[in-house]
Every structure is written in C-alpha cells, then in structure tokens.
Structure 1
C-alpha cells in the first residue's frame, strides 16, 4: 500500500515520489562496510606480524651474517672514501675548525686555520713541482736513455778489449734487452691473474676496514663482540656517560642543545686518558663527583679508575682522568733502590708510582706525613719504602714508636736508633717523651742556625756533615691514635706534636704519623692541617677520608672510600706529593715473607748498615728524583726559546730512563702547574726560558715563605 504525495505543496509543484509505508519487518538492515585495509585492528595485526618477521629475521644467523658483512663493505667504502677525500683536500681542517668554533675555543680555531693554510701552501708547492716535472720529463728520459746506452757501449768496448772479440761490444746491450724481455714475459704471465684478483683484493681491504671500525648494526654483530673489552673514553663516550647520570640540570642542558666546550680534548696520559670540559650553567663538578660510581659504570671502569675534579684555577671546568681498565691490578714496578744506589735526605726517595706510571718521590726535608687506612690496606708498604730510602743516606737518624705489637719494623732494627713496640702505658709514655725531646731539639737546632749566621735559614747537607747535631732525623709514630686518645697523655701529646711540626720543617726533622682510625678524636685537627703529605688508603667513610686528606675532599671527589679493602692493597689517594690537587698512587712493595722464604728488606738494611758504619759508598749512583722544571731549564741553557720537540729530544738525551717516552702532552702536564707550559709562537709549540726561570724563582720563593711561616 502506498501513499501519494500531493502534486502541489504551498502552491509549488512537487515531485511525484512514491514511498513505502513504514513497515518494520520490511525495512532492510543497515550495515556499514569498511574496507579491510582501513581497519585499525587489522592494521595493528599486520604491523605486529611484520615486526615479528623482522625480529625473527634478525635473530636468524644467516640474515645477521649477510647484514653484518654487507655493512662492513658499505662502511669500509665510506670510511676509505672519506679518508681519501681528507687526504686530497682541506676538508679535515675545515671540519676541525667547525668543531672548535662550536665549542667556543678560539685558540684552537686559529691553530687549525694555520694548519689548513700550511697544508694548502704545501699542496700548491707539490702541484707546481709535478707540473715542472711533467715539462722536464721528456728531456730527462732522453738524457737517461742516451747516458745509459753510452754506459753500456763503454762497458762493451772494455769487454771486447779484454776478450779481443769485437762482437762483445754489443753484449751488455743484448743482456739488457734479454732482461727486459724476461720481465715483460713474467709480467704477461701474472698480469691477467693479478687483474682478475684486484677487485677481490680491494673488496677484502674494504671489508677489513669496515670490520675493524665495527660499521655493522649492533644486533648484527657476533655475540662475543657486542660488548667491548675496553672502551676508549673519547669525547662521544664521555658525553654519553655524563648524559646518563640522572642530573636534572645537565639533562636539561643537553635537551636544549648544549654545545660542550672542550678546554682540553681527550688525550692519552700515561696509563689512562685525560680531558677537560666546561660544564653548562647550573651543573657543578660536585654534582658529577657525587655520581662517580654511575659515571665509572657508564665508562666501563671501576670507581677507583675514574677521577672527576675541578682544577683550582678553572672554576666550572670538569677535569676528568680515566684510567685504563685494570690499571690497578698489575704488578707494581720494583723499588728502584732494591739492589743498588744511595739516597740523599734533602732530595727525597722513591716510594710509589702514580696511576699514569710516573715515579712518586717521597720528600723528606721540610715534609711530614699522615698515613691512614683500614687494616690490611697497605699502609706499611709505603712507610717501609720511605724508611728504607731514608736509611740509605748514612746521615739520617731513624726512630720508630709503634703503639701496637707487630713485626713490620723488626727487619729495620739494626739501623734504627730507637724501636719501641707495645700499647702499654710505658710504651705510650715513651712516645710522649720522644715528642718532648723533639720539642727541645727543634728549639736547639733553631738556635744553632741563628748562631751560624751567613744567611742560613735551614739545615743543608753541608751543615749536617759539619755538625753532627744537625743530622737529619725521621721519627715514626705508628698507631698514633693510641697516643692522641690516651686519657692521661693525649692532650699533651697533641700540643707537642703541633709545636714540633710547625718548627721541624727547616730543622731537618721529619715526622710520620700512621693510624687505622683517622677521626676527629684520634687525630687532632691542627696536626692534620700542618701535615704536608697526606696518604689515604682504603677508608670506611667520608669522615675518615676528610680526616686524612682534609675537610671537603670527599665532596670534591678526592676520596679513598671507593678503594676496595683486600683488592686495592697498596693503592692510596694522596695530597701533597705533586703539584696536582691529588694523586692516586701505588706504593712500592719491598717483600718480606719468612714463610715463603722471601726477604728483600734485610739486604737493603745490610747495605744501609755498611754505609752508616763507614763501609764506603754503595756501588750504585746517588738517587736523583726527576725534576722536569729543573731539567727543562738545563736543556734550554741560554736559549731564549726552543721548539717543544727539540726540548723533548734533549730531555731524552739527558735522562733517557725518565723522558724517553715523553710527548708534548706529558711536557705540558709537567710544566702547566708552574705556569711554564709550552705556547704557540709562529704556529709552532715553543717553550720559553723566561717562563721556566720565573717558575723556578717562584717555587723557591714559596719554599722560603713556607719556612718563614713555621715559627708562627
């Protein structure tokens, strides 16, 4: 049944449309049809399926091998092409200039600009020489041919004259022609195989370069090579390590496009790597030092192998030194004086090596020591090396007061003036009496210096030889916390120790304090403040660390809390041994183990006894500590300026055992603390005599100033 729409609606003609009367059962179901490819669910399923295929393909060994070796070829080609481009153009210099400019290092920009200019000039000179060679080549070839033919003809005439056969005149020429023919024959034989092999040789070379540079994706690399055995902490590795320390201001700066300024690019430094980078606003070196374990982990190192500090004269700069992996696990070089040599108290003795492998000298004159660490950390190894070096000078008097029962000092007893052992009251009182005698002795020596006049301000070797009362003296107080914490003697001992230390430096008296309990109660603060050489072996917390090395050292990143007891035996963090803010050292170990039949100490003591009793000097030379500043001054002589390479060459000739392996970076590191480091002059690294002499005079002035302050 249908309804009809009226022909007119409101006076207008209406279209004739027939409508079905509404009937629910007759209404067809309305269905929305969506194309399969537009279905979100099906799209996700398809993407997951493709992803699964890719993952399975990656996990398949054949696919990984194809991708890996293909990437080696592509990456090797790219690397060799870039090397060729860099070698033929100035692209390398332009690239380094852009990097230096982005870092804000104007001096480095100028240096690379000068290098680029020198390269372009040399390239232009080579091109002109090649052009000249091409123009003169025909004449040279003709001259050579005529000269060679003449020489062969002359040789043939001599041969014919000797053999009386005119046919021998052409024999040399015939021999040369036959030789050329044989060469051509051999070349023809091997030419085709060589030509066929050249593409494969080139492909193998490209593959080897790509494999060496690991140009394949990480997932395609062999399972045993995806983790580096050792990582070089270059600029990229350092930035990645810093970016993963969870330091909010640093992360914000990196996210906002922070461009790091490398005060000193990463360079090889002894047994490790050294770099300096200016930190962004809001980021302090203390923040980095507080994350030292994480930083070490990010650089694949142990915490003791990573040292982030702030240079004294460069605020806001991170000075980072990263040791080679396992640099603390190898054997320490033998003590230099183990078999021969004598020492001079006034020049110091060898006691350790730094992490960089450099010798560490223990100063005796105008020095005193504070050595601490938990039991078994290696304190005795450094103290014994120091004492053995001291007794190899026949002028030195050594006393030892050990407020515990141990046998560390027993082998030295024949050469010791006094050896007291024990923690009873009478042993503690003996140590106190020693301090009383030292107080009187420094006063007496000061009066003697005043009586001598002639400008004498301190004890010298000449004075010690002239007057036995001025002989150098080294006094050890081991387990000194027992003395300072004694209820009856502790207060007086602290007062005496401070008085002696303030006056002893110019009177050739050296005090050595050794303790396993470096706390505010066991070590008087003024004793620590007046100690020139501080040594911290493995300690338990930051309180003990700062008690040995000084307040705030732990917060500044100079801490021995990262040393592992039982593992880093003989390794210590030190202050005062070098011009650097701190130094990580490994003490020389002079072995003595009766159970194993090893005794290296007794032969040294016997040599020392022979010297002390007048048995004559040792066969070896007198030990001379390395003094780069004095040695550089010596090789410069009267020359106002000298190229750095020439200075290094002369240093190696002067003392090859010390300077043979030195490079420009080593020389700069040695002279920089004194303000005498090399500088650029005419685009070349130069060392100035005036700077070195000024540094020496300044060092002498500082020594005199320190001595003048002892009486305060």
Structure 2
C-alpha cells in the first residue's frame, strides 16, 4: 500500500503518511476540512483491492456516498438507528479480529472508519438489555468496541479511524483518544481542546492547533504520533492536506471500484467438489439470519483447510452467484430462507440437466 500522500508542510515539503496498523483520530471545529482530510486517505486505501473498508458516516448524506460498492459495510445517517448500526459494525470488526487470532497467519488489512464519531459517543439509545450504545460507562457498547480494537486490532490488521468535531471529555472520551497512534487536529478553540486532540506531551512540545485560524486555515492539520516522518526534535508537524472535491472523489472511487471488481472476479472460487452452499447452510446452525462475520468464523471452525483463506467478500460473492446475497438491515446477514431456496433451485437445475429434460427456473 505504501505511504499515502496527504499534503504539504509549512516549508512546502510533500508529506506522506504510513497507514499500516495505525489507529487514527482526526478532530477539530466543524466545517474546517475534517471529512475531506480523512476521505483522502480512505480513497488511497480504496485503490488497493487487497484492503477492505467498513465505513460509518454519522452525519450523512454527503461525504462518503461514493464509497457505496467499495466499502463492504456502509452506514450513512445521523439518527440513533445509524449509531446502532455503526456500533454493530465495530462489534463485527471485533468478531473478525477474534477470528483472525483464531486462524492465525496473515490477513487482508481492514480499515474501519467512523466520521462524526461524537454522535456515537453522545447517543442516548439503549439495547433491550438496557446497555447504552453511547456514553463512557463500563458497559457502553460503542466505546467498548473501540477499546477492544485499539487494544488488539493492530496485531491482526484491523485498524480504526475516527473523526470528531469540537472535542470535549463527553464527546471524545479519554479512553478512546489515548488509544490512537496518529492524532491530528484542525483548528480548535482552546489549549484544553488541543490537549484532548493531540495529547499533553505534544502540546507541551509546541503543537498548537488552537492557533490555527478558523476558515483561513481550513484543511490544515497539526499531526502528532507515528505515521509521518519527523525530525528527531519534532513532536508534531503542520500539514495542509490535499483537498479532493466531491466530484473528483467520485471519479477516483469509480476507478477504484472497477479495479476491485476485476480483482474479485479473478479470485472468486471456481467449480469445486466441495458444496460450499451446504457448508454455509450448516454454519447457520438452524438460525434464520446470521451475520456474515459470524458465518465466516463458523466456516473456518468447521473446515479451516477450505475456508481459512475466505474473506467476507468471498462469502458474499459465492452467495450472490447462487442467488442468495446477504441482506443488509442494520448489518449484513445471511438468510437461511434465501439460501435454502438457492440450493433447491441449483439442485433442480442440475437434476434437469442430467435428465436431459427442460430446465425451469
């Protein structure tokens, strides 16, 4: 994947960032280029067919719509329902992370992106067990998933990026912000917010996003942590990020989607004596709807020699080809009813072909 070109520093020097296994936080006041700065990096990732993206945009509807078809998971909208879907997306990333630990080996990089994450942290909704989705309590579901990914995701190539605005201790908990390898801040209002964004050590060393000019320095980020090459004496670097407008971003995304589709076609399993549909049906364990990540984990547990190389994209391709694609509600799930119908249709087609009689769809 290499280093992603992100912008130029105050001397005019090009600055590129390494995204490999680095959790990232971008924050700052609203309408100063936060989404554009993060989206530029996601477009760089999208160009690599060997990397996966899961994205939640809790502002919606613009900004990330061009990733439809590229991101295996895409949540767009500001309501509590969207926060619940974003939380379940992060929890599924934790399941995927645990699956990777179980099977071992190397894995495709998975980048989990949440824009306007403050909406999730401030969400008042609770699940049927009365567990809050937002907040900072020990049982808060969104923060709990964030912490698990921060703590263990790097080891198995599961990386979390969050973008927030106008940081406070309520909408950007300390347990979240301290877990990032890259911390970047647009203009903020106070030194206290600068410390929340970048950490006290970076601010003590001279990082000062509070001195950026709102509006005039739009797109300028003070970046601390790893990822950017820095001189030994530097604790942070100010980068004016490359701006990619919506129309250009859409064109880049279209080219990335075509490249991914070609790569997927080349990697889709061909005819095999193994009955993958029957194996998937068995992995449902009699349940009517099961998350694709859970199905994949069960397949690997049932037959690791066959299914360890599979990804969520492989599973989706096999089901789609059979006429039983996963259905998207709050999360992507495999339907037992759809899968049974696909198996019946396939078997009927094969029986008719062997008998030499007419084949009816």
Q: TM-score range by the shorter chain?
A: 0.5 to 0.7
Ranges in structure 2 where 5+ consecutive residues have no aligned partner: 125-131, 135-139, 265-361
Q: Confirm or deny: 8 A CA contact 1:376 1:565 kept in the other structure.
A: no
Q: Confirm or deny: 8 A CA contact 1:545 1:553 kept in the other structure.
A: no
Q: Structure 2 vs 1, CA of residues 400 and 573 (structure 1 numbering), >3 Å: closer, same or farther?
A: same
Output the CA distance in 1 between the equivalents of 2:180 and 2:229. 14
Output the CA distance in 1 between the equivalents of 2:4 and 2:258. 19
Runs of 4+ in structure 1 displaced over 4 angstroms? none
Task: List aligned pairs for 1:329-348, cutoff 5 A.
Answer: 344=1, 347-348=2-3
Partner of 1:578: 229
Q: 2:259 aligns with which of 611, 616, 630?
A: 611
3-state DSSP of counterpart to 1:600: helix
Q: 2:147 aligns with which of 495, 498, 503?
A: 498
Q: Confirm or deny: 8 A CA contact 2:83 2:120 kept in the other structure.
A: yes
Output the CA distance in 2 between the equivalents of 1:532 and 1:437. 22
Q: 1:489 aligns with which of 133, 145, 151?
A: 133
Q: Confirm or deny: 8 A CA contact 1:404 1:423 kept in the other structure.
A: yes
Q: Confirm or deny: 8 A CA contact 1:365 1:509 kept in the other structure.
A: no
Does 1:542 find its partner at 2:191?
yes
Does 1:518 find its partner at 2:167?
yes
Partner of 2:305: none
Deviations 1:87-135 (A, max 9, x none): xxxxxxxxxxxxxxxxxxxxxxxxxxxxxxxxxxxxxxxxxxxxxxxxx
Instruction: Tell me the CA shift for residue 394 of structure 1.
Output: 0.6
3-state DSSP of counterpart to 2:87: helix
Instruction: Tell me the CA shift for residue 513 of structure 1.
Output: 0.4
Output the CA distance in 2 between the equivalents of 1:484 and 1:385. 24
Output the CA distance in 1 between the equivalents of 2:8 and 2:159. 22
Output the CA distance in 1 between the equivalents of 2:150 and 2:182. 12
Partner of 1:382: 37
Partner of 1:473: 110
Deviations 1:512-563 (A, max 9, x none): 1011132221112122212001110011111221111012543442110111
Instruction: Tell me the CA shift for residue 428 of structure 1.
Output: 0.8
Instruction: Tell me the CA shift for residue 587 of structure 1.
Output: 0.5
* RMSD across aligned positions (CA): 1.8
Does 1:590 find its partner at 2:244?
yes
Does 1:432 find its partner at 2:87?
yes
Task: List aligned pairs for 1:672-683, cutoff 5 A.
Answer: none
3-state DSSP of counterpart to 1:415: coil
Q: Which of 1 and 2 has greater Rg?
A: 1
Partner of 1:227: none
Q: Structure 2 vs 1, CA of residues 406 and 554 (structure 1 numbering), >3 Å: closer, same or farther?
A: farther
Partner of 2:20: 365
Output the CA distance in 2 between the equivalents of 1:602 and 1:422. 19
Output the CA distance in 1 between the equivalents of 2:11 and 2:17. 17
Partner of 1:442: 97
Q: Confirm or deny: 8 A CA contact 2:26 2:34 kept in the other structure.
A: yes
Deviations 1:460-517 (A, max 9, x none): xxxxxxxxxx221111111111111223212222122111111111211221101113
Task: List aligned pairs for 1:68-83, cutoff 5 A.
Answer: none
Q: Tell me the TM-score normalised to structure 1 length.
A: 0.34
3-state DSSP of counterpart to 2:203: coil
Q: Confirm or deny: 8 A CA contact 1:400 1:476 kept in the other structure.
A: yes
Q: Confirm or deny: 8 A CA contact 2:5 2:16 kept in the other structure.
A: yes
Does 1:403 find its partner at 2:54?
no
Instruction: Tell me the CA shift for residue 591 of structure 1.
Output: 2.1
Partner of 2:322: none
* Structure with greater helix share of residues: 1
Query: Which structure is richer in relative contact order (CA contacts within 8 A, separation 6 or more)?
Result: 2
Deviations 1:332-383 (A, max 9, x none): xxxxxxxxxxxx2xx2321222222222223222101100111121112211
Output the CA distance in 2 between the equivalents of 1:534 and 1:396. 22
